[in-house]
Structure 1
Amino acid sequence: MQHRLNIQFNYFCKMITSMFLRISLIILLVMGFLNGGDCFAQTPSEKIELIQAGALMGSEGKEAYVKLKDHVIFKQGEMFLYCDSAFQYAKTNYVEAFGHVRLVQGDTLTMTCNKLEYDGNTKKAKAIGDVILIDKQTILKTTALNYDREGKNVSYFSGANISDKGNNLTSTIGVYNTGTKIFTFKKNVHITNPGQGFLLDADTLQYNSQSRLATFRGETKITTKDGVIKSKEGSYNTATSVMYFGGRAQVFSGDNTISGNKIDYDEKTKLGVVTGEVKIENKKDSITVLGQHAKYTGKNGYSIVSGNPLMYQVNNTDTLFLKADTLVSINDTIKKIKLLKAYYHVQLFRKDMQARCDSLVYNFYDSTIYLYTNPVLWNGENQLVADSIWMVQKNGKMHTMHMHVNAFVISKDTIDNFNQIKGRQITAFFANNHISKILVEGNAESIYHALEGEKKLMGVNKAEAGSIVVLFKDDKLSTITYVTKPDAAFIPPQELKPEDVKLKGFKWRIKERPTKETVIGTNLK
């Protein structure tokens, strides 16, 4: 008997609860009608609809509302809102949702949080506490977030963490357009990708989650496995690893620093292009290269600089300047090749040495410089020419010079006479960057003007021999020693003929001698 009474009582309670829910809903509709018909003023798509609730209580205060509990579900258009409990304000078309809040927009966007305030008229929501927004493969986590359904914008102002296709992004302020899939980040912007091994730090950045292109403005720093890049504007495609940098960008890689007005770089192929006031610095070798355009291939350490290029290397208290139409650098650490090649209209300048040629190779591993195609070199009052010349440096100073085929040395004396030496091959030895001795091998010829007191010509000594050794003092020819028996003649001044004072092939090219101004040009102004 008691059991039957309990069943009947429970059934009675359920009926009363159901009737109460229906009566409360009717009251809510009547209140809306009496207050100007706000409920009927909105179209069904604009009205927040209550789909489900386990319990309902009403209030008729200044702001009439219904309190809902247990598995609450709302709907507006394509949006569904789920929560544990909520306050629904029918008059203002407003909802406050609490506990396990979940907003679902269409079939792509889902947002969860602890609390959500939603205005059905403006279609704007404010999510608070443990906010997580998921839009396909993009996941955003923050403490507070604003969502504008009409404008398709998500914004935050207290920091957020975004994960997108392997990229992790953080910033203090951010806006996300759910339509275009574009993020705009401001303040303390960071992007990392553990798989690709890069870190991007910026002040302002725009990121397209579809193309995975990051575009930045303001001071930006990108750290990769190959080095560090700094720029004030540019873009980085995190999918293709293709980068563009403007605003006087800088690249720091090992001992090298590269800067230019614009840099394009493909991290996968290691191909880079730098344009506009290019500057390449190598701290280890104290070398700087300037130009207007540069191409770089990182895989084999190959780079080309053009546009009035200039290289200079600081050694102790002197500097070597090199100018050409094109400079090519090769730095292969595996094969131990480190070369600088210069092509066409090459000019060299250092206080103790100047040179011209049409092509040049500088081997940094053994500090040897090779000059090709009509080379000519000046050291003090001496002019040296040959079909090819290569000189060896030690500790930043000239040590030896090798002149091959049609080698010719001209030395001007104190009264402007030209002492001359020529042969198949000449080796010059240096002391403190000045010629101290010359060895002539093969078909050696010489013309030496004998002076009295360095002012009066006594005669000309003209000789031919297999080999000659010449000593220099104060950059001038001092003595000649013939290794093999010479065919020689001493000609007094009164018997001299024009052919007696010039060897075949003589050409004094002093007007071609580079100066610091002609080599540097406008590069260092």
Structure 2
Amino acid sequence: MLKRNKKDKQQDRHRWLLIGFLCLFGVCLVAQNPKKPADKKQQPANKQQSESKKQPENKKTKVYLLHADEGQADKLSRPDVQVLIGNVKMRHDSMYMYCDSALIFEKTNSVEAFSNVRMEQGDTLFIYGDYLYYDGMTQIAQLRENVKMINRNTTLLTDSLNYDRLYDLGYYFEGGTLMDEENVLTSDWGEYSPATKQSVFNHDVKLVNPKFVLTSDTLRYNTENKIAVILGPSNIVSDNNHIYSERGFYNTLTEQAELLDRSILTNQGKKLVGDSLFYDRVAGYGEAFDNVKMTDAINKNMLTGDYCFYNELTDSAFATKRAVAIDYSQGDSLFMHGDTLQLVSYNLNTDSLYRLMKAYHKVRMYRTDVQGVCDSLVYNSKDSCMTMYTDPILWNDGQQLLGEEIKIYMNDSTIDWAHIINQALTVEMKDSIHYNQVSGKEMKAYFINGDMRHIEVVGNVQTAFYPEEKDSTMTGFNCLEGSVLHLYMKDKKMEKGLFVGKSNGTMYPMDQIPPDKLRLPTFSWFDYVRPLNKDDIFNWRGKRAGETLKPTTDRRPKTDKRNLINM
């Protein structure tokens, strides 16, 4: 009984060993043949994952030797190195490499190539050099000495070039030159992508074009559209002008520029600055937008506003949107505002060159010694004459001059004399009740050092004048009429008047002045219109209703009635 039990125990042990062996065998089979997913839709994804796992083993990643005149190998000392001599030709994917001699490192899948090195990819990319190290794993080629990269119409020259095949990007770091049909670019550091045609340059960048030279610290350039992107302080210099910009675009093909960040355009002594600029070199004009300033260093004046247009071919410009013309040729600057300010040049490149400066509409001007308002104004540099049209008023200290038209003749940017034409009136305020007044058909006011000293009044002269003692006490009221009057000023006040020829009138004591004689028929006092300072020129205040002058003459162009009938 005991023996049978022992036998049974042995049989049980064998049975369990067999079961364990069978289970282990089944596990191995399962590990070798994983169960297929029940969802058939996931099969392509698993298949793709399986193929991607095999990709590193793809033979295309290996550098292949296609030809060499001689081949050597030392299996003992350097078993993974092939020494190739003479007409060596290799391939890695779509890139072919040629040289006089080379070393192929099988373990690292890399190549060293010497002398007459050439890399070719398709029929668009060719790279030459004296030395090449190519890493087949990273696909980075390092070429040294006499390196030349050619991509269609673009050529890159340098002594040190790294070319990354994965990103299709070549870059140099010890100086290089990039050339295409239009431009030649040099810099200390640069990169070029044959795929995108985009290049980037840093440090001592210079772009040379037959018509201009661009120097910069940082620049992007596209060899396909020929557009240079300015990314740092840059200067564009040509025979005619100079551009400074720190950010913008310059199309070297069309020669148009869009410039930002207070870029500067300088031409023949004129400087145009704005928050943004547009410039067309072929058409010869520039536009500036927002916070614009155009300065003429030769004539010492400037235009400001929120928009300015300048034509360098015709030497003309105009400004709008809070436009101001500033003359700073004298110690005291003259500020003039109008809806539009325009500068036009005539007889360019001749000895008879002259310019017209036009201001319209709602013109206001201010200088500490003279102020004025009118609807429109023209300044002609030929005769140094500034003509004010439509209800013009001119103030000089305490004197107010007005008429249908005022011509101001300048001498070295200061007033020499003024001509007031038709309905001329000059008024001097003594206090809120008493005014010295002179009216006539026309007046000529003469200035010395910016001060009015003498007024000549011609035609239908009328005066309402208060003579004074030396202590400025008014001694009476003089109402006179005549044909010609010479009025003299002293200390910016009317001192005395002398009539030429016959005159008549009445001298009234101060306490016997008739109320209807206090004011001349044409009297007006426009202190509410007068500009108060250089900022007040933007605040237009027109004359009150009924106070505007009605022209006495028709200034429209004459028409021949006979021609009208014949038409």
TM-score by length of structure 2 reads 0.80
Residue of structure 2 in register with 1:18 after alignment = none
More displaced stretch, 58-67 vs 139-148: 58-67
Question: Structure 2: how far apart are the matches of 1:170 and 1:505?
Answer: 75
The Cα shift of 1:81 comes to 1.2
Partner of 2:389: 372
Which shifted more, 261-270 or 451-460? 451-460
1:356 aligns with 2:370: no
Q: Which range moves more in the overlay, 456-465 or 253-262? A: 456-465
CA distance in 2, matches of 1:442, 1:79: 98
Encode CA deviations 1:360-390: one digit per residue, 9 max, x unaligned: 2233454322211211111122100011111
1:482-521, Cα deviation, whole Å (9 max, x unpaired)? 2232343334445533332222221111122212254477
Identity within the alignment, %: 30
Q: Residue 324 of structure 1 aligns to a residue in which SS? A: strand
Q: Which of 433, 451, 454 does residue 434 from structure 1 map onto?
A: 451
1:393 maps to: 410
1:59 partner letter: D
* Matching residue of 1:511: 528
DSSP 3-state at the match of 1:180: coil
Distance 2:306 2:74 in 1: 76
Letter in 1 for 2:116: H
* Deviation sequence 1:319-367 (CA, Å, 0-9, x none): 2222223222224434613232222222222222111112222334543
Residue 41 to residue 505, structure 1, CA distance change in 2 (3 Å)? closer
* Paired position in structure 2 for 1:84: 100
| Residues 412, 476 of structure 1: 8 Å contact kept | no
Q: CA deviation at 1:437?
A: 1.3
Which residue of the other structure, out of 50, 54, 62, is the alignment partner of 1:47?
Answer: 62
Counterpart-to-counterpart distance in 2, 1:361 and 1:454: 42
Q: Which moved more, 1:435-444 or 1:132-141?
A: 435-444
Tell me what 2:13 maps to. none
Aligned to 1:178: 194
- 8 Å contact kept, 2:335–2:534: no
Paired position in structure 1 for 2:170: 154
Q: Which residue number in structure 2 is paired with residue 271 of structure 1?
A: 285
Native 8 Å contact 1:56 1:68 kept in 2 = yes
Aligned amino acid, residue 314 of structure 1: Y
**Structure with the largest fraction of strand:** 1
Query: What CA distance in whole angstroms lies between the structure 2 residues aligned with 1:160 and 1:340?
Result: 50
RMSD: 2.2
The alpha-carbon distance between structure 1 residues 499 and 518, as it changes in their structure 2 partners (threshold 3 A), is farther
Secondary structure of 2:123's counterpart equals coil
For the 8 Å contact 1:415–1:455, the answer to whether it is kept is no
Specify the alignment match of 2:235 in structure 1: 221
Give the 3 Å change call, closer, same or farther, for CA 520–413 of structure 1 in structure 2.
Answer: closer
Match of 1:189 in 2: 205
What amino acid maps onto 1:383 in structure 2? Q
1:42, CA displacement in angstroms? 4.2
In structure 2, give the amino acid aligned to 1:174.
G
- Residues 178 and 402 of structure 1: is their aligned pair in 2 closer, same or farther, counting only changes over 3 Å? same
Q: How far 1:76 sits from its partner (Å)?
A: 2.5
Q: Is the 8 A contact 1:174 1:185 kept in 2?
A: yes
Q: Which moved more, 1:54-63 or 1:234-243?
A: 54-63
- 1:98-141 CA-to-partner distances (Å, cap 9, x unmatched) read 11111111111111100111122322211111000111111100
Q: Does 1:463 align with 2:480?
A: yes
* 1:448 aligns to 2:462 (yes or no): no
Change (3 A) 1:162 1:411: same
Structure 2 residue aligned with 1:384: 401
Tell me the equivalent position of 1:240.
254
SS in 2 for 1:201: strand
> Which range is displaced more, 456-465 or 379-388?
456-465
Work out whether residues 364 and 538 of structure 2, in 8 Å CA contact, stay in contact via their aligned partners in 1.
no
Q: Deviations over 1:230-259 (max 9, x none)?
A: 121111111110112112212222222222
Give the 3-state SS of the residue equivalent to 1:218 in structure 2. Answer: coil
Partner of 1:417: 434
Match of 1:33 in 2: none
Give secondary structure in 2 for the equivalent of 1:511: coil
Note if 1:209 corresponds to 2:218. no
Listed one character per residue, the Cα deviations across residues 81-105 of structure 1 (whole Å, up to 9, x for unaligned) are: 1111111223332211111111111
Quick one: distance in 2 between partners of 1:404 and 1:364?
21
The answer to whether the Cα contact below 8 Å between 1:322 and 1:519 also exists between their aligned partners in 2 is no
Alignment map for 1:316-331 (pairs within 5 Å): 316-331=330-345
Q: Which has the larger radius of gyration?
A: 2
Give 2:112's aligned residue: 96
SS of 1:515's partner is: coil
Mapped pair 1:59 → 2:71: no
Q: Deviations over 1:31-67 (max 9, x none)?
A: xxxxxxxxx9643433322222211112223451221
Aligned length: 481
2-side partners of 1:364 and 1:319: how far apart?
18
Which residue is equivalent to 2:6?
none
Q: Which residue of the partner structure matches residue 486 of structure 1?
A: 503
Report the TM-score, using the length of structure 1 for normalisation: 0.86
1:282-361 alignment runs, 5 A limit: 282-332=296-346, 333-334=348-349, 336-361=353-378
Structure 2, unmatched stretches of 5+, are 1-54, 540-567
- What is the match of residue 37 of structure 2? none
How far apart, in 2, do the equivalents of 1:414 and 1:306 lie? Answer: 40
Please give the alpha-carbon distance, in whole angstroms, between the structure 1 residues aligned to 2:203 and 2:535.
48
